[in-house]
Chain A
Amino acid sequence: MARNTGTRPLAINGLTMALSSKDLLGIQGMPKDEIELILDTAATFKDVSERDIKKVPTLRGKTVINLFYEASTRTRTSFELAGKRLSADVINISTSTSSVVKGETLLDTALNIEAMKCDIIIVRHSCSGAPAYLSTRLKSSVINAGDGSHEHPTQALLDMFTIREKLGRLEGLTVAIVGDIEHSRVARSNIYGLSTMGAKVKVCGPPTMIPPGIERMSATACYDMDEAVEGADVIMMLRLQLERQAAGLFPGVREYARLYGLNQARVARAARNAMVMHPGPMNRGVEISSEVADHTPVILHQVTNGVAVRMAVMFLLAGASKAEA
């Protein structure tokens, strides 16, 4: 890599690298060195949130639009703070109060926003592929903030960042992801990212919620939770979407909690100092007991790290988009 060539632009030290795309649509296919670049960059942005003046002028004069077609507090706030701490102007568009209710299409809405000159559009949509569709039609950088049951790349990046921060590495770790794998974009992005980084991923949940062909995503499936958490370095719980019960994917919440809920006894089966993670919002007493939730500071560290990771992504994309042009 560039480290030993000893060259440097102007009088600035350090390595230089860039992301290969103007957009962040998913973790699938993202090379290991790009994931590492984002995680390394995030480490320095984390300091910004911890000092007295929580703002750097990096994206001064840039405009960032949060276009959310699905309810979200944590992710939207996280992106908004990340943009503001980089000095960008951040606008939130919540579709329930916008012209979307008058029947405007996704593309028309996005083109209208872009006509007002913005640099980064952050999209959350219930349809898988919506951000990818927009990215080919817009000049702005598009960041996927969760699309249907496809991917949620910044969540996986912040999860990997948090694991690396606490355990010092990703390579060689065993990560158990438990819950509704089939419908979880968080799980999908994490499986891609963790396996690229050399971790071993086990998924666990009711057979109706494990997608067929999971082996092709380099994860192993397991239907018994005690077995899944045995010796795991990281236990990643997913939120049970209660509306799935109506679809008949599991018989009852109480049964689910008994078979696939995380309690102290199950945490004890994992590796010593195992990390428990949850992307939020938590259903206490369903997929995670209150006892475990309250003894797991990591879940809030994930939220803290989310801002740093999103700052890093915006910073890198703001550079990458111009490199292509």
Chain B
Amino acid sequence: MTGLKEKALILDNAGIDRAMTRIAHEILEKNKGAKDIVLVGIQRGGVHLAKRLAIKIREIEGLEPPVGSLDITMYRDDLTTRKSQPVPQVTDITFDIQGKIMVLVDDVIYTGRTIRAALNSVMDYGRPQRIQLAVLVDRGHRELPIRADYVGKNLPTSAKEKVEVMLAEDGMEEKVVILGE
């Protein structure tokens, strides 16, 4: 969007890393280890974060969970109300998810509609035993009864603002910022 400028720096490089490390520990604590865990990142930011979590889990536990990616474009509920569509990215879940503990990973949770779409999409690939949700930023304003199990940073925002997660994988300086007028 034009006309929006950076209002506040929420997390820097080290802050993102510390949040991801904590989430990795929490995932292992809650599930009593890395056995049966699979990570699925929601395109595009969530995929990078899911890969980072997998490496952190391996460093802690010695077992690296498989990582997949999920594109939810085809499951969105606003196809005909939006002016343009995101170009669908790949969905790549090459491992069996039947009976696994799936941790969905996304960068920001906002209305909850992306996660609703992701849940429907996952069901078309198989039946995980349990699905949990990890996000780097929870910015509030939920429109659906959905809650994240692991949150890097709770961030109260106004609906006029935007939260921008920039990651090194996309060739950007790593940080989380709030954009506003």
- The answer to whether A and B interact is yes
Q: Is the CB of B75 within 8 A of A44?
A: no
Q: Is B124 an interface residue (CB 8 A)?
A: yes
Measured CA separation A299–B147 after assembly (Å) = 49
CA distance A7 to B179 in the complex (A): 10
Partner of B107, one of A11, A41, A57, A322: A11
B45 x A56 contact (CB < 8 A): no
Interface residues of B in 43-57 (CB under 8 A from A): 43-46
Contacts of B89 in A (CB 8 A): 13-14, 44
Q: Contact: B91 with A47, CB < 8 Å?
A: yes
Contact with A along B100-142 (1 / 0, CB 8 A): 0000001111110110000011001100000000000001000
Interface contact B74-A11, CB-CB below 8 Å: no
Those of A169-185 within 8 Å (CB) of chain B = none
Q: With A15-B86, A58-B75, A322-B80 as given contacts, are A51 and B124 in contact (CB-CB < 8 Å)? A: yes
Contacting pair B111 A11 (CB below 8 A): yes
Please determine whether B74 and A40 come into contact, CB atoms closer than 8 angstroms: no
Report if A40-B162 is in contact (Cβ < 8 Å); known contacts: A10-B113, A12-B114, A56-B75.
no
Residues of A close to B163: CB separation below 8 A: 11
- B79 contacts A58, CB within 8 Å? yes
Mask, A314-325, CB within 8 Å of B = 1, is 011011011100
**Is A111 among interface residues, defined by CB-CB distance under 8 A?**
no
Contact B91 A44 (CB under 8 A): yes
Check if B87 sits within 8 Å of A14, measured CB to CB. yes
Q: Are A16 and B84 in contact (CB under 8 A)?
A: yes
With both chains docked as a complex, state the minimum distance between the C-beta of B26 and any C-beta of chain A, in angstroms.
21
Q: A253 an interface residue at 8 Å Cβ cutoff?
A: no
The number of chain B residues touching the other chain, given as a range, is 35 or more
How many A-B pairs fall under 8 Å by CB? 112
Q: Does A17 contact B (CB under 8 A)?
A: yes
Chain A residues near B113 (CB-CB < 8 A): 10
Q: Provide the residues of chain B in CB contact with A41, threshold 8 Å.
A: 87-88
Residue of B84, B85, B121 most packed against chain A (CB within 10 A): B85
Bound CA–CA A56/B83 (angstroms): 21
A323 to B163, CA, bound (A): 25
User: Is B114 a contact partner of A57 (Cβ separation < 8 A)?
Assistant: no
Within 8 A of B (CB), among A276-325: 315-316, 318-319, 321-323
Interface size class of A (residues with CB under 8 A): 35 or more
Q: A12-B86, A16-B86, A18-B85 are in contact. Are A53 and B162 (CB under 8 A)?
A: no
Cross-chain contact B124 with A9 (CB below 8 angstroms):
no
B90 in the interface, Cβ–Cβ < 8 Å? yes
Of all chain B residues, which has the CB nearest A321? B80
Contact in complex: B84, A45 (CB < 8 Å): no
Q: Which of chain A's residues have a CB closer than 8 A to the CB of B86?
A: 9, 12-16
Is A37 engaged at the interface, CB distance under 8 Å to the other chain?
A: yes
Contact between chains at A6 and B164 (CB < 8 Å): yes
A11 and B106 contacting across the interface, CB-CB below 8 Å: yes
Query: Which A residues between 1 and 43 are near B, CB-CB below 8 angstroms?
Result: 6-18, 37, 40-41, 43
Closest B residue to A85 by CB, please name it: B74
User: Hey, which bits of chain A sit against chain B, CB under 8 A?
Assistant: 6-18, 37, 40-41, 43-45, 47-48, 51-53, 55-59, 86, 315-316, 318-319, 321-323
| A–B complex contacts, Cβ < 8 Å, 24 sampled | A7-B4, A7-B162, A9-B82, A9-B86, A10-B114, A11-B106, A11-B111, A12-B72, A13-B43, A13-B44, A14-B44, A15-B87, A16-B85, A16-B86, A17-B84, A37-B87, A41-B87, A44-B71, A47-B90, A53-B124, A56-B75, A58-B79, A319-B84, A322-B80
The 6 nearest A-B residue pairs measured at CB: A14-B86, A18-B84, A13-B44, A44-B88, A56-B74, A16-B84
